[in-house]
Amino acid sequence: MTMFYVCKLDDLEIGDSIKLEQYKPPIAVIRGESGQVYAIDDTCTHAEASFCDGFVEGDTVECPLHMSVFCLKTGAPDNPPAIKAVATHIVNIKDGDVFIEVQR
């Protein structure tokens, strides 16, 4: 698989996200409160809201519509109403640049 450039790590502050709409479904690249960068499908499995509009707490993101919380590392929901995980993608940081490998 090929790694794709996303941004400079310094351009992604703690709690920030970038929506990559060139992928279907779109991918959210999110920097958790630990400083770790994650890439997950951007669409909540319950009501199709964008995680880029959600709230980052720790290394989780909360859907802005119905408040299901998803683990950024695994994509698994921690609470209802969502019950299905979202896909996660590989993130690689090299020389201060963020790259992702899309897993589809």
The C-alpha atoms of residue 30 and residue 36 are separated, in whole angstroms, by: 8
pLDDT in tens, 35-56: 999 999 999 999 989 999 999 9
In what helix (H) or strand (E) does residue 89 lie, and over which residues does it extend?
Answer: strand 88-94
pTM of the full predicted structure? 0.94
pLDDT of residue 48: 87
The C-alpha atoms of residue 102 and residue 2 are separated, in whole angstroms, by: 8
